[in-house]
Structure formats: C-alpha cells, structure tokens
Structure 1
Amino acid sequence: MTDLAPRPGSRRTDLDLLRVVACFAIIVAHATLIFTSEPRYHVKSASPHLLPTVIYEAFRIGTIPLFFALAGWGSVVALRRRSGARFLRDRAERILLPLVAGILLLGPIIRFIELQQGRNIGLGGWRLVDPLTTGLLEFLPRYWGRLNLLTWSHLWFLAYLFIISVVLLPLLQHLARQVVSMRMPGRMLAFLPAPALAVVAVAGDAYWPNLSNLVQDWGSLVFYAACVALGAWLAAWPGLEGRLRQDAPLFLALAALGFALMVAAPDSVTGRIGVGLCAWGAIGASFGYAGRHPPAASRALSWLGGSTMAVYVLHHVPLLLIAAALLPLAMPGAAAWAIIVVATTAITLAAYRWLVEPFAAPRLLVGMPRRKA
C-alpha cells in the first residue's frame, strides 16, 4: 500500500502547516508557563494553577520533539542537493548566527525583565534575588561585560539543534543518499520508535528538570537528537509517513497514554517512559493528520511558513514585556493569558512584516534566507 505515502518532490503544504502550528504553540506554551507551578521562568504569576501546569506540559512534549523531527526531515531534504560542508555552513548562518545575535541583542532585555521580577535563572537552576532597580540603558554594559549574565533563554533550541546537526551529519548524509522507498512498513516497525525513545529518556534522565542549559541536560540533548534522527528517517522513507497517515488515530492514542503517564508520575522512570511514548505519538499523529488533510497552497500559508523562524526568535521579548506589564494589574489569569497570546502574536508578526522581512540585515540575524534578486 503506497497510496498514502507522500510523493517525492511535491510541495509539502502539510509540513508548512505543521511548522506554523508548532510555532504558534510555542507562543501559547510560553504564555501558559507564566501561570504554572514550574518555577524556572523569567516572569511568573504569584498564583500558579494546576490546569495551566498540565496544559503547558502537553504543549511542551507535543511541540518540542515535533520541532526537532521537522528539523531532521528538512536536513535530509537539504542534503540531497548540497554537500556536507555546504550544509554545515548553512546551519551556521541559519542557526548559529541567530543564536549569537539573540544572546547579544535580545538576551539583555530578557535578563533585565527577569532580574526586575526578582528572579535569576542560570546554569545551576534558578533563585530569588532582590529586584533589579537600575534602568535598561545602565544594565546593558553590565550584561555585555559579565559572562554569568548572558542568557540564550528560548534560543536553547538553536544551540541544541546546531550541535545535533554537526554530530548527526554522517547519519543525515547516509539517509539523504538512500533510494526513496514508497513501501509502507508494518505497524510494529512504525511504533518501535516509541519504546526506543522511552529507553533513551530513562537512560539519560531526560526531560526533567526543565533546564535546557547543556551542562545539566545531556540526557535531553540525546533525546532530542533521537527525534531529529527519526524525522530524518521519515524523509528517507515516505512509505513510513504513509503508515503514520493510516494509523494517525493510534498515534494520537499513544500520545495520550504517554502524557497520562507523565502527569501521573513526573520526574520518574514511569514519567520518562511516558515522555518517550508521548513524543513519538505526537510526532506520528502530527505528521499523520497533517498528511491526511494537507491545506491548499496559498500566499498566506507561504508567508506564515516563511515567518516561523523569525517569529520563534523574536516572540519572547514582547511576550515577557506584556506579561510584566499585565501581572501587577491583578486581572483574572485567563484574561491576562489571552491578552498575552494575542498581543504577542500580533506584535511579532508585525515586527516580522515591517522590520525583518524587507531588509537584508534583520533577515540574516533571525536565520532567514537572503531575498531572491
């Protein structure tokens, strides 16, 4: 059965849609994180609640492995038409440069807001501190002059992805050279990555605590590298994507089962088994349902798809500024959350449209390709 498998060379509007949805989900997740019991964040509500905590975990496990899988898929496609050296140069321009630029240009604002809130998130975790009383202009040279103040915040994803891209390059090249197979695998093989990811998560103590600082997070780095490898496997074997499409409801059920284990027993062997099951279930269901119902190509989808990298890089600053302004007003949490999500999305897309998209330098700094002449 190959009729469900994607045709090589065709425009993948389903994956364009996945990237857009996953990017918006990151904004929603960060807005939700403000109201959770997870203490490691730049701005926190004084009244955390259980429901946002559970919702945030669903977004976190549902979107981050998917992002890495999409990156693996895209890496194999890119390596089919360029050398390994060219691929690494492209990764440096599209991932490493935005990471460095973000640390230097966005990092001081994020750290300034964080310290104003009386919080300090560093390599060793987080701690409460006396709120910062200096102004931003006075803080800037202090930030740039002290290594322990530098932060990559949400841009940890770029750091992890660059390292993974370098380490997995031989595997990615191998998969890119393979003859594309339209043969649909059996169900057992298609679900095998779920227990494999569970083993990786348990062996590396991955996912918890939510530090994303490399120093104490090697287990998660390996786990996300496995997600990249699985995304690359999907690109090399369209027939496997056909299986995901056929069994999308089963993958969704697998994700639900894994998430239930995560919620029932967080930061434990059982919880990490749930992380592995949920991650592959979420990847499989996302690829499967998007492939079942691909949207028609349109200018809007193309524009939104092209904006995702810039939106990911830029969204955190307006989100934190809005949150820091709203929380002292003591409005209902749901109302504050909705305003943060909507306003952040609108401001970030506007910044992309009028401050980034038309200009060469901002495009380069957020990892976008150069404009075609």
Structure 2
Amino acid sequence: MSQNLSSVPSTASPPTTAPQRLHHLDALRGGALLLGVLLHALMPFLPGDLWLVSDTHDSWGALGAVGVIHLFRMILFMMLAGYFGHMVLHRRGAGSYVRDRLMRIGLPLVVFLPGLFVLVIGAVQLNATVRGLGPLTPPPPPSGAPTGILALPTLHLWFLLLLLEIVLVVVVVRAVLVRLLGTVRAERASLRIASALSSPFGLLLVAAPYALALVVQGGNGAGITEPTTLVPVAGASITYGAAFLAGWFLRAHPDALNRLQRQWIPQLAIAVVLSPLALLAPASTPPALVAVLAAFAGWAWVYGLLGLTGRLVGREIPWVRYLADSSYWVYLIHFPLLLLVEVPLADLALPLLVKLAVALVVVMAVLLVSYDLVVRSTWLGKWLNGHRRPRALFGSRRQREERVTEPA
C-alpha cells in the first residue's frame, strides 16, 4: 500500500529548501497537550465526585475551566495535526508519511498503554485503600457497550488511535481524489477550500461539523464525548476528523495563516462571549442551540489563539520550544503520576489553588527531568519526536550550546 500511495502525485510542488519553522504552531501544539495535563489536574475538584480520585474540595470554577478547555483543546490539536500532516506528506510522500505516523503515533499507543493501565489501576486502588473507600467495584457496562478486545480502555491515549484512523482515511481518500480529479484540479479545489476557511466567514464552515457532531451525539451538553475503548464514537470522529481536514486544507493556501492572524481580536471576543452561553445554558435550552454555541465558541478559540500566538511567537523562544518538544512525552506519561500525587492531597485542608499547584509542580518536575535525562537526546527522542536534541537541563555547557540541524 505504501508504494501505491507514494506514487500518487502531490498536489503541491515540494519546496527545494526546508521551509521556515512555524514556531507559533509548535507552541500551540505543545500547549494543547499541556492543557490536557492541567485539565486532568482540575478533575478531582469537580462537583459530583466524578473523577478517579475525588478531592474534598468541590469547585464550580474548576468545572468552568475544564469546560472551556474541553471546548477547543482537542480540535486545536487535531487541526494542527492536519496542518503538519499536509506539510509532511507533500515533503516526503504519502508512504513515508503513513510510516512515520504508524511509528510515532500507533506504536506508542501499543507500547505505553498496557503499563499506563496497570499504573492507573494501582493509583485507584491506592486511593481506595489510603482513604478507606472500601474494595473497588467496577460499574456495570452500559447497554450496548463493546465486549471482548474492543472493550479495552484507551485512557488518555484515545486521541492517538483516533488520529491514526483519521490519517489513514485521509491519505486513502486523497489518493483516490487525486486520481479522479487530476493534480491541477485537486490543487485548485484545495486552494478554494483553504481560502474559504481563512476568510472572515470561515468560522461558519469549521463550526458546522462540530455542531452536527454534538447533535448526533445527543444530550444537551457542549462537549464532545471521547471514545473510551477501541470502538470509534461518531461525535468524536466527525468533530476531530473535520478539524484535521481544516488544518490540512489551510496548509494548501500560502497566506491562510496570515489571514487568520489578522482576525485574532474578533475571534477571541466571540470565544469569550459564547463560551459561558454554551456551558451555562439552562437544561431547557434546545440541544441544537447549545451545539451551535459550543461549536462557534470552540472554533473561535482555535482561530483566535492561532492569530494571537502568530503575533507573539514569531521567532524561537528557547523555553517555549523546550516545553513544546517535551509535551508529547509529558502527556503520554502524566496520567497515572498525576493520580498518585492527588491521592495524598485529596483530604488535606489546603486551598484548592495550593493543591493544584503542588500536583502540577511535582508531576511536571518529574516528567521534565525524565524527558531531559532519558528521552531528549536518546533513541526515545528520535522515536517520539523524530529527532534527537542535546540535553538542556543536565547536559554540559558544550551540549547546551550545540546547534542541532532541524529535521527535513
């Protein structure tokens, strides 16, 4: 299959020189992953004891923060995955792109998930033992839930499986369309779509699949339900597949990011106004209206943050780049560590912000140190990030000053 895909002509001429690195997109991608760590750190404080480790403090502010993050974080990540995916495919070919995604997305899912699952179970058991909650009794599966191997939980790595599914579908469909339409017509169509997405009315186009997915999903909520097993979920597949395609097509227009950058103020204004309307809508509000408000709010955050970071991060900022490089490792490993740290904090009579800060500082310190020592300059860094870099925290001065050529 790789040979057939690789032979499909590109819809854009590959550059003769390495393109300028888009530092603000690197920062956004890393920020989307690190926001996931913050989101999980806030979960113990949600009213209703819904999390694996529930804190004695309940906070509606934490619920609001989680709701806002959930509106846009994953569509931002998937949109950037589509943007960078388009870039890699047109630079290296479809076959190389698929192999790279299998190695850096599919293989980490297979390798890391079993150990993470064991650690999560251990953390939950520790929570029950230390806090005298009694023996663990897993809830009965809902009606119609998958069974057998399909019921395997994907934890916080569900997005890797979904992203890999999206990549494979997009590459195959693209190959078919290029064969049917021809290179020139396919390129023109991509440019027209990218122009529409980056226009002042582009928000209408990108928000439509999100709103549709919420309606298909059912209920009256503003957030997309994530798949928790190997079985795809329609709402998530629609929303995040469309987000990936939005990034894919935006990459086809040379001025798309600049056009969006000029819209950042009105986009963030829309996001700030619509987010509370979507998240605080009364139960009597029609579900379709909630879906529209949430979709517009989520994508307005994405477009607004794209523009804002484009203005703020126009060059490489060392500490931002370091966090962006480490974010994949941090997100892969953080979940059970965060649960373990939250167990001894849960019953302490400390302010919420103090508990949150302690949990984040401890977990991030452990993960950033481990990234610098065992990932950044080793084969793990090559595997996960596509390159090795000199240690920055514990390396020698010569290593820290060493210049590393960017990967092609």
Please report the TM-score for the alignment, with normalisation by the length of structure 1.
Answer: 0.81
Deviation of 1:256 after TM superposition, in Å, equals 2.4
Partner of 2:271: 255
Deviation of 1:253 after TM superposition, in Å, equals 2.1
- Whole-angstrom distance in 2 between the partners of 1:38 and 1:11: 45
Structure 1 contact 202–273 (Cα < 8 Å) conserved: no
Q: 2:206 aligns with which of 181, 188, 193?
A: 193
Q: 1:368 aligns with which of 382, 385, 388?
A: 385
Q: 1:131 aligns with which of 135, 139, 146?
A: 135
- Whole-angstrom distance in 2 between the partners of 1:91 and 1:266: 42
- Whole-angstrom distance in 2 between the partners of 1:202 and 1:259: 18
Q: 2:64 aligns with which of 54, 73, 80?
A: 54
Deviation of 1:43 after TM superposition, in Å, equals 1.7
- Residue correspondence of structure 1 range 7-156 to structure 2 within 5 A: 9-37=19-47, 40-118=50-128, 130-132=134-136, 151-156=153-158
- Residue correspondence of structure 1 range 144-293 to structure 2 within 5 A: 151-170=153-172, 178=187, 186-189=199-202, 191-205=204-218, 208=223, 210-213=225-228, 215=231, 217-265=233-281, 268-293=287-312
Partner of 2:393: none
Structure 1 contact 108–150 (Cα < 8 Å) conserved: no
- Whole-angstrom distance in 2 between the partners of 1:160 and 1:103: 14
**Secondary structure of 1:203 counterpart:** helix
Bigger Cα displacement from structure 2, 161-170 vs 90-99: 161-170
- Whole-angstrom distance in 2 between the partners of 1:266 and 1:272: 13
Structure 1 residues 13-34: Cα deviation after superposition (integer angstroms, max 9, x where no partner): 1112212322322221111112
Alignment of 1:321 with 2:337, yes or no, is no
Question: Relative to 1, partners in 2 of residues 1:156 and 1:92: Cα closer, same or farther, differing over 3 Å?
Answer: same
Structure 1 residues 329-360: Cα deviation after superposition (integer angstroms, max 9, x where no partner): 33222211111122222211111111222332
Q: Could you tell me which runs of 5 or more consecutive residues in structure 1 were left unpaired when the two chains were aligned.
A: 1-7, 120-128, 134-145
Partner of 1:142: none
Question: Relative to 1, partners in 2 of residues 1:148 and 1:338: Cα closer, same or farther, differing over 3 Å?
Answer: farther
**Secondary structure of 1:45 counterpart:** coil
- Whole-angstrom distance in 2 between the partners of 1:113 and 1:340: 14
Q: Identity percentage over the alignment?
A: 24
**Secondary structure of 1:221 counterpart:** helix
- Residue correspondence of structure 1 range 299-338 to structure 2 within 5 A: 299-338=318-357
Pairs aligned (count): 343
Bigger Cα displacement from structure 2, 166-175 vs 344-353: 166-175
Deviation of 1:191 after TM superposition, in Å, equals 4.2
**Secondary structure of 2:374 counterpart:** helix
Please report the TM-score for the alignment, with normalisation by the length of structure 2.
Answer: 0.74
Q: Which has the larger radius of gyration?
A: 2
Deviation of 1:258 after TM superposition, in Å, equals 3.4
Bigger Cα displacement from structure 2, 57-66 vs 302-311: 302-311
Question: Relative to 1, partners in 2 of residues 1:336 and 1:243: Cα closer, same or farther, differing over 3 Å?
Answer: same
- Whole-angstrom distance in 1 between the partners of 2:118 and 2:47: 25
**Secondary structure of 1:77 counterpart:** helix
**Which amino acid counterpart does residue 341 of structure 2 have in structure 1?**
I
**Secondary structure of 2:255 counterpart:** helix
- Whole-angstrom distance in 2 between the partners of 1:94 and 1:74: 14
